Structure 1
Amino acid sequence: MKKNSIIFLIIILILAGCSSSQVKKSEEVETKEEYYILKGINYVREGNYTKGLKEYEKAYQKNENNIITLKEIARTYIKLGDYESGIYYYSRALKIDEKDQESLRNIGYAYFLKGDNKKALSYLSRLSLDGTNFETLKLKSYLLYEEKNFKMAYKNFKYALTQEKEMDLIYYKIFAELLNDMGKKEELRIFLEKGKEKYGSQRDFIIFYSYAVGEYFGEYDLGEKEIKRYIVAYGGNDSLYMTLAYMIYNQKEYAQAESALKLVSYRERYNKEYMELKERLKEKI
């Protein structure tokens, strides 16, 4: 779940290519070469990646060392799911300018999508502070966590938190796991409470908060209280009722948990989470 959401964000970032104004600023681009690049950009914007790639390749045949062409070819290959070719052309771009931030960032993304976390980290770590946007910083933090480099992951997550403008639940979940793994229980508590102060009116955060205080601190009663508070204030839905039943079940109030589970709509009673809890209750009642 977490990784799929991160991959979605990465693909969105890679879709942001060079603008036509960037092309026009390149003094190295000849008239026809520029024409092919602009034509390729227009095809890509329309979602016709194959035609766009053919135009970029025409520009490439005229000048194999145009960094704009190389980056556009690389990006388009990645959109087509050809990570190897994308990495090849980004590598070519980095031979021309080893500090090119866009190439470093996107080749890092490409290696992550390819499943090579170590290579992804090696490129993302070469980014300057200015070249490291919020999404890249979060990805780097996630990769460090996956590689069990908790100390550096913690440092990056802490810095990312200072850049936060709106809630990112993926980030919150991973950072909570990291704090728990590092035994930073007091900081985890503060982190959760501050989050609740900011996002107490957001359903998904309250569900996350309830599971977190239950799983990390054994305070399922507090989780139950927060879910009930939210339902009274904003109304309930299936995910809230499922969470409520789970909180009550873990307090061994099995009859009450079964009553909460009955609030779940019929269309949701065949999902895995519901059926597992239902079976566990059968064994207790």
Structure 2
Amino acid sequence: MSSSGRDGVVNQDLKEKFARAVDALNRADFPAAIEILSDILGGDSENAEAWCRLGLCYLETSQPDLALEALMRAVKTDPGDATAHYLLGNAYGTMGQLEKAAACYRRALEAEPQHSKAEEFLIKTESLLESREHYRAGLKLLYSAEPTAHDLNRALRALAQSAAIFDGSPARDNLLECARKLVALESELAIPVKATPELEKWAAACERGFQCVRFKNWAGVRAAYDEALGYRAQDAFVHHALGFSFVELGETSDAVRAWLRVLELDPGYDFARFGHVQLVK
């Protein structure tokens, strides 16, 4: 048989093997696909598509270290393959290497700007990175030697922002401790308000809430300030106190939302100070 004839037989054999591998992959028979693809790569180590498919199989079978190796071979052989870069990003992400994952998603988008999955995962990964940075900053401040009220204010902001960006952030586990350290430094913030009949019930609810804060009656704080919000919703000190009641009552997500509302209403709010309405004539 001539050399060209032998090459034709080999190529046909590879095509048939690859077709069987794709069929196994489509049927989610990953062990079979891995076996066939490994056989293909034994005879054609520069087959970028086979490396890419093998990497996918390893991802699907929770073997990210092997997926990483296969997908690195895929992008080395074919640097323009957007899907290989995307899957490599998934492998890095599974292993917690978020910066490398984001870089892979960016390369996938450079190769194929309309790659929707790469765009979606890049957005998610960048959010996770931002959440992690806030978390690390918050922990550093929270556990600094003798943190000041200013340190704890910054810590609470950072931890709340981390939890707001990523609901599964470990910052949620530190919010209660941070809140209690702030309560230990609490001071009164006078809120002068002109006495009017329209504000009478609101002021009474706020007074009950403030007194409940003093005695650490967090259920009472919640009830009183919830009532106050029914009359008007623009007071940062009300949302501030509610946040403390929520976190003490185990409602962390509500606490985060309340504190973020505080920062929307008053970005410079001092979280160590609890508002006390002072009616003036």
The alignment's TM-score, normalised by the length of structure 2, stands at 0.43
Relative contact order, higher structure (CA 8 A, sep 6+) = 2
Query: Which has the higher Rg, Structure 1 or Structure 2?
Result: 2
